Amino acid sequence: MLTNSQILDMFNINSIIKKYPKSGQKQVFLVEDKDSQHVILKLVEGKSERIKREIEIVTENNFANVPSIKKIDMYSYDGQKGIYIIEEYIEGVVLSDLIRDSKLSILEGIKLAEDILNVIVQLEEKMIVHRDIKPDNIIKSVEGDWYLIDFGIARAMNMESLTMTEMKVGPHTPGYGAPELFQYNKNDIDSRADIFSLGVVLYQAIIGNHPFLRGDEWDRNEVWYRTVTVCPQDIIIEGDVDMLFIGLIQTFMQKHISRRPNSAIKAKNWLDGVKETIMGEV
């Protein structure tokens, strides 16, 4: 991997502010560019079809509540080759950090649901499934808006799949992925998988604990087993008139895909009705 001084020279930046943990072939930095603006620099070693797919998905669509890509190019240095990406930096806090010691209020939860459902609706229109909605991939900006990041395992339904058909488990994060993602049947995967993951995120963010997991699971198999078999408790959320919001969240997390809202737009319309009722009581 390139050294810090090499990165400064090659990509015409003033300074490296933060280096994030490396993930596979990808290294991510928060940097200050020559215009003194904070941006995200991603370096991807070699040729990665998944990274190319991520770039195509984000750059070819002007999604709201998704960081924009400012520049893409190849780099080569002393035998090292790869892709570099300059991406919009969203100043704020990652949801996983935000909920580590506190919970979201019902109004904060509704805002989170609105903004991420807005992204899922846009993805659905383009026949894209994110497949990795989780607290680590959601950022709350300083303005109070929620952003969805990291399209590294997104599936474009109208493009050739990058996952071998005979694979028994599809790409996802255990504990947040819908059952159809790890009981792998490509024909069952659509925006309802993202709706399931959003339900898990909302429950965890507002209730304060994961709906299926205890945290002491031995391995992925136990995580998958609990995801399929454990039914989350019915919890009373302060301000939740007639338990409308928890009812919506519970439906989002239904194990069987046919029991969830059959589209992102249907889910959003349902949320709009719940919001109107709850806001009328506040």
Domain coordinates of the chain in residue numbers? 4-88, 92-281
The band of 166, judged by pLDDT with boundaries at 50, 70 and 90, is very low
Among 61-70, 127-136, 160-169, 260-269, the minimum mean pLDDT is found in 160-169
SS3 of the chain = CCCHHHHHHHCCEEEEEEECCCECCEEEEEEEECCCCEEEEEEEECCCHHHHHHHHHHHCCCCCCCCCEEEEEEEEECCEEEEEEEEECCCEEEHHHHCCCCCCCHHHHHHHHHHHHHHHHHHHHCCEECCCCCHHHEEEECCCCEEECCCCCCEECCCCCCCCCCCCCCCCCCCCCCHHHHCCCHHHCCHHHHHHHHHHHHHHHHHCCCCCCCCCCCCHHHHHHHHHHCCCCCCCCCCCHHHHHHHHHHHHCCCCHHHCCCCHHHHHHHHHHHHHHHHHHC
What is the spatial distance between Cα 208 and Cα 215, in angstroms, rounded to a whole number?
13
Contact 275, 110 (CB under 8 A): yes
What is the spatial distance between Cα 252 and Cα 259, in angstroms, rounded to a whole number?
8
The average pLDDT across 252-267 equals 96
Candidates 77, 70, 80, 69; CA nearest to 25 is: 80
Among 128-132, 225-229, 243-247, 278-282, the minimum mean pLDDT is found in 278-282
Which fold would CATH assign to domain 4-88? Phosphorylase Kinase; domain 1 (3.30.200)
pLDDT digits (tens, 9 = 90+) for 24-64: 778 899 999 989 999 999 888 876 666 677 777 887 788 99
Contact 268, 121 (CB under 8 A): yes
What is the spatial distance between Cα 160 and Cα 37, in angstroms, rounded to a whole number?
37
What is the spatial distance between Cα 241 and Cα 56, in angstroms, rounded to a whole number?
42
Q: How crowded is residue 262: how many other Cβ atoms within 10 Å of its Cβ? A: 14
Confidence (pLDDT) at 170? 60
CA angle 176, 62, 190 (to 5 degrees): 35
- Domain 92-281 listed as CATH 1.10.510.10: yes
What is the spatial distance between Cα 243 and Cα 178, in angstroms, rounded to a whole number?
24
pLDDT digits (tens, 9 = 90+) for 82-108: 888 899 999 999 999 999 989 999 999
The average pLDDT across 180-199 equals 87
pLDDT digits (tens, 9 = 90+) for 226-243: 888 998 888 889 999 899
